[in-house]
Structure 1
Amino acid sequence: MIELPRDLPVVERTAVRLVVRDRAGLILLFHTRDPEHPRLGTWWELPGGGMDPGETYAETALRELREETGFLVGAAQLGPPSWRRRASFIHRRLRHVQDEVVMTVRLDAAVPDVDGADRLDYEVEDYFGFRWWPVAEIVSSRERFYPGRLPELLTPFLAGEEIDEPFELWS
């Protein structure tokens, strides 16, 4: 196990991340930054967030998708939580340690516009753009991503492989 930096108070949580695919198979990623930690630069990340008490993975996925994108979908459009990971990163004034699952969401529309009206205040500050990416561009990109191994693990994940990713100390 990697030792965590003792830089900030630690909060542990369970989270769901989403590989959101449009009708053509393009994948939605948010262009993100942490205004309190400019040294981290910018990166592209999967939508998602922490589970509320009593929620299932599917309920968290549908809520987070609605809050961050405005997309309303049904549980039948979700894939199984077949990518499991544990990660740590700094965000604002906390070090997050989270157990995450990654699920797919298949949309009926092609490149729908994102509506961030229901985002939390910090998400409005952190997310400064979005892009619909072809899978091949993610796989070959030199950009920074969260999860960090997204370019490497996306193709096997989309092919239906079960992924148990080792711990990632992302920041």
Structure 2
Amino acid sequence: MSESPVIERRAARVLVVDTAGRVLMLRGADPADPARPYWFTVGGGLEPGESVAEAAVRELAEETGLRLPIGEVGEPVWNDVTEFPFDGRRYRQEQSWFLVRVPSFEIDRSGFDEIERATVTEVAWWSSHDFVASSEPFYPPDLPMLLGRLGVM
């Protein structure tokens, strides 16, 4: 039996930081492994013809209800590549990270797509203590280091 090919994709991730220095995190699980939840940031794959900044704005609106003009997401603050399994497939994702500072707000999950509704179980604002105290994994694992470099934590 041959291994399925790796799916290449581009993504935009958004570090949503409130005035208290907390980071918006989503908790979910891979549908193929629902017993192993993890925390992650807002964001997702680019749609055809979409720039990374356009994807960041769209994902932010879909996953949080927060609608910002494209100019407010600015330029990426970090770029990386990650590989991961999701729903029985392997992905290799080139991703650009944006930093958005906003007042704390009530999250609106009504824009979630079908897979997000099925897999995202919680949304929370994380402090630096929450990263240290977490018994569940968060992605990327070096997120606190990146937030420190950006002056968030």
> How does the TM-score come out when normalised to structure 1?
0.79
Q: In 2, distance between residues paired with 1:90 and 1:71?
A: 28
Which residue of 2 is the match for residue 78 of structure 1?
73
Which residue of 2 is the match for residue 20 of structure 1?
16
For structure 1, the residue ranges without an aligned partner over 5 or more in a row are 1-5, 161-171
Q: Which runs of 4+ in 1 moved over 6 A?
A: none
Q: In 2, distance between residues paired with 1:137 and 1:10?
A: 35
Aligned pair count?
150
What's the Cα RMSD here?
Answer: 2.0
Deviation (angstroms), 1:140: 2.5
Which residue of 2 is the match for residue 100 of structure 1?
95
Alignment match of 2:117 (pick from 116, 124, 138): 124
| Seq. identity, % | 35
Alignment match of 1:63 (pick from 58, 61, 70): 58
- Does the 8 Å CA contact 2:53/2:70 hold for their aligned counterparts? yes
For structure 2, the residue ranges without an aligned partner over 5 or more in a row are none
Q: In 2, distance between residues paired with 1:138 and 1:153?
A: 15
In the TM superposition, what whole-angstrom CA distance separates every residue of 1:87-134 from its partner, at most 9, and x where no partner exists? 011111211111011111122x32x11111111101111110011112
- Does the 8 Å CA contact 2:25/2:123 hold for their aligned counterparts? yes
Deviation (angstroms), 1:159: 3.2
> How does the TM-score come out when normalised to structure 2?
0.87
- Does the 8 Å CA contact 2:31/2:86 hold for their aligned counterparts? no
